[in-house]
Amino acid sequence: MGMNVPETMASPLVWHPQTAADAWQLKQNYATDSVYISGGTLLRTHWEAGIAALPKHLIDLSTVRGLKEIRVGETGLLIGGQMSLQACRTNAFLQRHFPMVSEAIRTIAAPSVRHLATIGGNVASNIGDSVPALLAYDAELLWYDGNAEQQLPLTEWLHIASVPSLANERLLLSLLLPFKETEEQAARDDADVVFDGKDSISKMKRFGAYHKVGRREAFTPSVVTAAIKGTLADDGVLQEIRIALGGGQTVPQRLDQLEKEIVGALVDGQLLQHVYDRILQLYDPREDLFASAAYRRTTAANIIVAELWKAARL
């Protein structure tokens, strides 16, 4: 009688490129037989769960030079895609001027995972819990297309995430969190003021919040992730608003249409009801065995309305 020998999984070949061009070329050479990897925390869970097959080639981005630093540029904060989540979380400048990103990272997995996982990997997954916070700050991405570095808004990156041929052409290098006029002023002197263009200074209230709702207190996949950021005038009128929602396997989205509808409006009971109703209409989350789409929509609407209510102190 013959003996059944268990099939063993062949180890992939790991490549260690030194430049973005080298990494990109390896991806073109091996195409679907390869995958970019750094911390590999999310990919490993997929392989172990059988969601994805272990590829023949791993392209290790941790060896690409220049992608493990945070620096302040002329237009914003530049974060290398290979920065670990923990390094981002503990960066003092990021905590001070982009606190929702720090808060979002705090909610991701356990500390040991955050030491390995990278901000680039969280974004490139297209469903990372940091993405709504980054969307609220109008984040932009720098990526390599085989010839040169390109820059585009994170919103556009997510729009083409579902096109595999385009996804394979993109190598994420860095993230840019742009300074807005009011944030640039605050970065200089921490003053809660903006100029109205008439040589007078008007007091404004800037507000922002990030929430992750999961099935337990910590170390849990998200059911809903929500980020809201805005500016209120003294009379309670919204001067600026950003609303971003995600969670679970849902690709996060900015609710641009709702933002346009309510900017310039007074935050009162009627507006809050409008925001609640429109989120139920506009937010289209994916459901799974743990939470229905209706539950996710209702939860997201409650979070955003509550934050607007607190900001206006109604």
pLDDT 10s digits, 261-278: 999 999 999 999 999 999
Question: Which of these ranges, 31-35, 85-89, 281-285, has the smallest mean pLDDT?
Answer: 31-35
Q: Could you tell me if 226 and 307 lie in one domain? A: yes
User: Which CATH number does the domain housing residue 54 bear?
Assistant: 3.30.465.10
**Residue labelled with tokens 């700050």:** 137
Whole-model pTM: value is 0.87
Mean pLDDT of the chain: 86
pLDDT at residue 179 in the model: 92
Contact assessment for residue 64 and residue 80, using Cβ atoms and an 8 Å cutoff? no
Q: How far is CA 190 from CA 9, 72, 187, in A?
A: 56, 17, 6
Q: Are residues 206 and 237 in the same domain?
A: yes
5 is a domain residue: no
Check whether residue 201 and residue 172 sit in a common domain: no
156 and 34 belong to one structural domain? yes
Same domain, 154 and 263: no
Helix (H, G, I), strand (E, B) or coil at 192: coil
CATH code where residue 224 lies: 3.30.390.50
pLDDT at 201 over 60: no
Kindly tell me if the per-residue pLDDT of 198 is higher than 50: no
Among residues 118, 148, 178, the one where a domain terminates is 178
91 within some domain: yes
pLDDT tens digit sequence for 40-72: 777 777 677 677 788 899 999 999 999 999 999
**Angle at CA of residue 143, ends 140 and 146, nearest 5°:** 155
Structure tokens at 249: 């396997």
100, part of any domain: yes
- Give residue 32's domain range: 13-64+72-178
Q: What is the pLDDT of residues 157-177, one digit of tens each?
A: 898 766 766 656 689 999 999
| pLDDT for residue 132 is more than 90 | yes
Q: How far apart are CA 88 and CA 314, in angstroms?
A: 35
pLDDT digit string (tens) for 66-125? 999 999 988 999 999 999 999 999 999 999 999 999 999 999 988 888 888 999 999 998
Instruction: Note whether 133 and 211 are same-domain residues.
Output: no
7 belongs to a structural domain = no
User: Looking at beta carbons, which pairs linking 236-242 to residues 24 or more positions away fall under 8 Å?
Assistant: 236/266, 236/267, 236/268, 236/312, 237/264, 237/265, 237/266, 237/267, 238/262, 238/263, 238/264, 238/265, 238/266, 238/267, 239/204, 239/263, 239/264, 242/135, 242/136, 242/137, 242/138
The total of structural domains in the chain comes to: 2
Query: Is residue 118 located within the same domain as residue 46?
Result: yes
Given a cut of 60, is residue 9 above it in pLDDT? no
